[in-house]
Every structure is written in structure tokens, then in C-alpha cells.
Chains A and B, each alone.
Chain A
């Protein structure tokens, strides 16, 4: 009964990965047959391709902003939801709501919410006397705008964190209180150690999502203005489906794939230093 999976694995995972490895060494425009070009793609990626470098920087910058924001704010929101206040169910639903809505609809909505002239964000800012920036049309603000928009999907992190918080044994809090620990000490020595596997998981999850960000950038800015939001996936997509450079796009895909795998393995290694497990 596992046969379907096995066939699927060969057809859609093992086969394609092998194909990607081989195609990474070719030049192929789909129309004429692929041409073996040796290391040419790889050399050009790492030495000549200015856009590769830019898109890598955009993606890394994005991850550096988005991942800590999601994890820290997710932890804060989950802690608030975990306190015994009436209505937490409603708030949980509110924070989770944007996550169930179609990403494209949210992206379209936010490209208008962030409109400098009649968008909601700049209107709210004007109420407190702040002149908001051009958000998506300003090269310096376009990437932070996407970070901001993506906080819509913090619900996933919040729900995972909340499940983690609810599993911290109550006795631990009571014991710490009896020992006279204050709030900060309880957070530092009880909550965070118990939560460390969950925090670790949300870091991996958000990092993976950040590296594979595509739809938001495609719908909201299409990489612009300039190359300020040219995410790696967008550049990869353009190579494959706009310029039909399949060989080159495959080489780019492998670079991202290996980067994600390396970072994930490194994270697992590092996690032994700080993730508590019993």
C-alpha cells in the first residue's frame, strides 16, 4: 500500500533532483535540445551574475528582518493569548484569520493598504502627525513593506507557540514562584528553556518560508522598484519561465536548495547548544 508513495517519490522527488543536477550543467531553452556546457552556469552564477548577487542579498536581508520579528512577536502574542483573560479565543481567531485567506488576495489588498496617497497605513500615520513613506514605490521601503505585509501570516507561528506554552508544566511555574522568582526570572529560567524546541522549530519554519518567498513579491512589486525586492525565487522564476533559461534556472535552484539544506543542518547542530530536551 506504500507503492503510490514510492512511485511518487521516484517520479516527483528522486527523478527531478537527479534531472536538476544534470540540467544544471546544460544550456536549454526548451525548444532546441539541451546542450552540455560543463561548469559554465556555475562559474557565471558566482562570478558574473550581478542579479544573482542582488537577489541573494535581498532574500538574506528579508530573512534577517522577518525571522526574528515573527519569532519574537509570535512569542509575545502567544504569551498574551496564554494569559487567563476573557476573549482569548476571539483574539486567537483574529490573529489567525489572515493565514486562512488566499495569499494573493492579501497581497493585492496590502499593495493598496500601503499606497502612499490613499492607503490605510499612511492615513493612520497621518492621524498621529507622521508623513508615511512611499512604501512599495520607495526603494528603501519596499523590502520592509513586504516584511510588514508578511506579518499577516504570524498566526501560524502564534498557534505553534501557544501549543508549546500550554505544554509547559504548571508545577514548574508554581515551584519557581515559591522560590521567589520574579517575572523575568520565570521567563528566563522556566518558560524559555521549556519552549526552546518550539522556538527552534518556528525559526526553521520561518527561515524556510523566507528563503522561498515568491508570491508576495510577484504580486506586490514584481521585484521593483529597481531590484529592491528581487527575491531569489522571483529571479529563479524569471530565468525559467520568462527567459526560458532552464539549465541556468536549475543551477540557481540547486544553489538555493543546498543553501537551505546547509543552513538547516547547521541550525540542528547549533541547536544542541541551546535547545533543551529531556
Chain B
């Protein structure tokens, strides 16, 4: 080895050492930061599996002994969570279908068809995307109340069948990247606009439609304010709403710590269900 390559090598290994140290530091930080995200969830799971008398043992036991899986069953029956689950599925699936399909139709219209005022309409659509929903939710509630739809699932489902501006925007942007030739070829073969949309565009949109479907799913599954405003009777409640009611009922029953504590494990089990 020549002297020159020697110095390069040792310089190189010093650099490697420094790099390794830096990586170690980054890794350590990443681990430290993940604590606040992971530990509460772990605590939730652990509490959900504890017997009532173990919940307030100090210092807390991370691994419950014995593990009580019955908590889940008990929580499930302590409030009609089965009913809540069905309701949540209804108020998630039906809006999801509407949002994905209708938004794709509207996006297609904005991306590929020509009609007077189209660009103005699209700008309006984008503008409503940025609009805070606080401005409209009371009049919309009053509208549904006049229709007699309060305490039904309709207010949570019907608006979805008019398309969601954000999804329309996303899908339009994606459609603009699709090559025109495919549609031209289909049109030459005599396909009309609806056939082109159904047979050519929709299949090509696969991944984007999946993205929109995931957004829509999370949005409706986790939604709280809508169900709270519109669903009043016990048998219509969704999981989120049911969980909140379950908690406030627990807190409200005299509020004695003993009672609350005896059911904390059930609450946590209920939270896991949601």
C-alpha cells in the first residue's frame, strides 16, 4: 500500500465512524420520539386485558397477569357495540361507494369533456375544497331537519352522492396524465362517452380510486360530529359516538372513582373495538 492510499483509507474510516455515530444518534432519536406514540397504545391494550383490581396497581404492570380476554366480551355487551358496528359499516360503506363513483364521474367531466363554463365550475369546485365546513353545517342541518331526515342515516349518506371536491380534484389531476390515444381509439370503435368512462378510464384509475376510497373510509369510520348531530336514538349510534356515550355514561354514574375504576378496563376494551 502506498502512503497516499493509506491516508485515504484512514480518513475514510474516520468518516465511516462519524457516519455510524450519526446514524446511531438518528436511530436513538427516532426511538425516543416513538415512545409517546406507542406507549399509550400499549397501555390501552394492557389495561383492556386487566382484571378490575389490577388497573390501579402502582407501579403499573405492563403485562397483565392473568390476561383477561373476557373484558372484550363484557365491553361488547355492556353497550350495544354490535349494533354500533353495523351502523358504522352502513354509514361508511354507502357514502364511500357514492363518493368514489360520483367523484370519478365529475372528475371525468372536468378533465375530458368540453362544456361552457367548465373552467369556472372547476375553479368553484377547488374553492369549496378550501372552504371551512363551519360555514355550512348549521343551514345543512336545518335543511335535513325540514326534510325530516334527522335521526336517520340519510344526512350522512346522501351528500356523498354529489361528489366531494377534494376527491374530484385528485381524480381530475390523475386523469389529465392519461394518454388521449386510448379514448380516441375507443371512440373510433364507436364507444360513447359513458362507455369510454366505464370501460377505459375507470379501470385505469385503479390506484387513485383506491386512495380516494381509503380517505373516504377513514373519514366516515372515524367521523364524530356528523353522527352526533344527526343520530340521536341509541340504536342508530356509530362506534365513535357509542364510545363517547359509553365514556360519559361511565363518568356520569355518580362519578365515584371506585365505580369508574372498576370499569376502566371495559372502557379501554371498548376503545380497542372502535
Chain A residues packing against B (C-beta within 8 Å):
1-2, 4-9, 11-13, 15-17, 19-20, 23, 30, 77, 80-81, 83-88, 91, 94-95, 97-98, 100-105, 108-113, 118, 120, 123-124, 151-152, 208, 211-212, 214-215, 218-219, 233, 236, 240-241, 246, 249-250, 253-254, 256-257, 260-261, 264
Contact = CB atoms under 8 A, between A and B. Distances in A.
Nearest to B36: A151
A110 B56 CA distance: 16
**Which 5 interchain pairs have the tightest Cβ spacing?**
A8-B162, A16-B139, A1-B109, A2-B109, A19-B139
Interface in B211-242: 218, 221-222, 224-225, 229, 239-241
Interface string B108-123: 1110010100100100
B131 to A, nearest CB: 7
Contacts of A120: 39-40, 43, 60
Given A212-B134, A233-B134, A19 B37 contact: no
B11 interface: no
B185 interface: no
B267 A257 contact: no
A16 B140 contact: yes
Contacts of B161: 4, 8
Chain A CB count within 10 A is highest, among B140, B145, B165, for B140
Interface in B2-55: 22-23, 26-27, 29-30, 33-34, 36-41, 43-44, 47, 55
A30 B142 CA distance: 8
Contacts of A100: 218
B135 A4 contact: no
A114 B60 CA distance: 14
Contacts, number: 198
B102 A108 contact: no
Contact count band on B: 35 or more
13 contacts: A2-B118, A4-B162, A7-B162, A85-B26, A85-B27, A102-B224, A103-B224, A105-B240, A109-B268, A208-B132, A250-B138, A253-B134, A253-B138
Contacts of A87: 27, 30
B100 interface: no
B19 to A, nearest CB: 9
Contacts of B134: 212, 233, 236, 253, 256-257, 260
Given A4-B102, A80-B30, A260 B132 contact: yes
Contacts of B221: 102
Contacts of A261: 132
Nearest to B239: A102
A80 B240 contact: no
Given A9-B124, A113-B40, 15 more contacts: A1-B193, A2-B115, A8-B159, A12-B136, A16-B140, A86-B27, A98-B41, A102-B274, A110-B40, A118-B58, A120-B43, A211-B132, A246-B138, A254-B135, A257-B132
Contacts of A83: 22-23, 26
B99 to A, nearest CB: 11
B170 to A, nearest CB: 14
Given A19-B142, A100-B218, A108-B271, A152 B37 contact: yes
Interface in B56-99: 56, 58-60
Given A120-B43, A241-B229, A250-B138, A2 B132 contact: no
B271 A109 contact: yes
Contacts of B137: 16, 253
A12 B128 CA distance: 10
